[in-house]
Structure 1
């Protein structure tokens, strides 16, 4: 029985899953850097923990590129209105950085000289550090409808209503921590008395939502003084109750110090 320290990297498909209607996600490669410690309880069973820094990247678009999305806003005179946004070729690049703290059990058994089979299962505390948005569209049109007076305004730029070409802006989602499940299945190959190479497949799944906001917002914000400089709130901000959770699978490569 022996304790071990490990360092490693993960690479694979990282997806920030969403249940926001009308959106489509494109997957990109994600990854993580990890360092940890495994304490052996028996010859076959150990308990491990550590710290990991992970990155998820993806593009999000509207399934119907000509869709108009609306929400309630209040103008500077405190009059309530329905704010409608229509865009052309809207694309949102999302980048999520997070710190993960795993706690897992490891089962290990020797299958050949210098080769061990490993299975790890447990949970991770997933703490988002920054969830950045880079939004762009060929055109953006914002219009207001005042139901009390049955009035529609779609061309009054000095009050924030009208069109804009070549829109681009950055923003950030507000987030909170969640718990993820984790599984790894792989092998260690002895590279000497004190070192071993670790190779495995991993699967991670988040529970709950990392989104933390108290009201629905327009994915492109309302600017009461201009049709330019409108904030990028992001498509996921249109539903404050949306379930936004990370899911990842791929390969892990590590180096164990016995």
Structure 2
């Protein structure tokens, strides 16, 4: 993947430096933005994605060109548990350095996720004239997907965190001053740690001349991420352990429960652009 990223960025920088010899474009895209995961017991819904983009297409022949640019994208979705009252287990260490099993049970847990990213595309374009002033376009290539931030807003009707110390066979269910017990109306914000990855991209559309030097571009697009954007060193409880309170618990997020989870962006929908010839 490192080889691909270096080539995408290097080629893109070179092409942008030659921008005066190319066709410039600006555009938007909108549709379904899905942050897919393989974390068991979770379900995602209300997916939405979009992007603003600008770039160049360099003509190599009358039909073939190579393009690059920069894009700013946003993904929004909601994630919850398949079983709204399921208990999830994690291992924690208390202030006295004693290890224990931390059990978290929630009621109607919901996680609103917002992911912002910068994308650097590198693609080949094929175009051919099909009627006066109308061209058929097909683009295929790759993008370097670099998350800027991946924030979450978690809520639940009820949260309960209990402890089991296996060394002494001790269960603690209600000791609020040490972070064990339950409370209503949980709400907290958090953020996932991320890293860059590579996406494939495809666009199929048409260009309509709007004058001698301008054209409208409309297309359908599909983007698929490879490799995970999650960058986490250990498994964590989706609602964190606070050794001094049951109210102020950190929102780590459902995807934090598996440090090896594959979290990847997938998007499809429609794109519109304006070409400056």
Instruction: State the TM-score bracket (shorter-chain normalisation).
Output: over 0.9
Aligned to 1:35: 54
Size of the alignment, in residue pairs?
A: 257
Deviations 1:48-101 (A, max 9, x none): 000000000000000011110011000000000000000001000000000000
Aligned to 2:210: 191
Aligned to 2:75: 56
The answer to whether the aligner puts 1:202 opposite 2:224 as a matched pair is: no
Q: Matched residues in 2 for 1:207 and 1:75: separation?
A: 38
Q: Matched residues in 2 for 1:257 and 1:155: separation?
A: 67
Aligned to 1:254: 273
Task: Could you list the structure 1 runs, at least 4 aligned residues long, displaced by more than 6 angstroms after superposition.
Answer: none
Aligned to 1:23: 42
- 1:41 deviates by 0.4
- 1:164 deviates by 1.2
- 1:27 deviates by 3.3
The answer (yes or no) to whether the contact 1:56–1:97 under 8 Å persists in 2 is yes
| Long gaps (5+) in structure 1 | none
The answer to whether the aligner puts 1:171 opposite 2:186 as a matched pair is: no
Aligned to 1:243: 262
Query: Which of the two has greater strand per residue?
Result: 1
Aligned to 2:244: 225
| Long gaps (5+) in structure 2 | 1-20
Deviations 1:183-206 (A, max 9, x none): 000000000010000000000000
The answer to whether the aligner puts 1:122 opposite 2:141 as a matched pair is: yes
Aligned to 1:87: 106
- 1:233 deviates by 0.1
Deviations 1:182-229 (A, max 9, x none): 000000000001000000000000000000001000000000001011
Aligned to 1:140: 159
Query: Which of the two has greater helix per residue?
Result: 2
Deviations 1:122-174 (A, max 9, x none): 00000000100000001000000000000000100000000011000000000
Q: Structure 1 length as normaliser, TM-score?
A: 0.99
Aligned to 1:104: 123
Deviations 1:214-258 (A, max 9, x none): 100000000000101100000000000000000000000000000
The answer (yes or no) to whether the contact 1:14–1:27 under 8 Å persists in 2 is no
- 1:30 deviates by 1.2
- 1:3 deviates by 2.4
- 1:29 deviates by 2.2
SS in 1 for 2:51: strand
Q: Matched residues in 1 for 2:161 and 2:270: separation?
A: 45
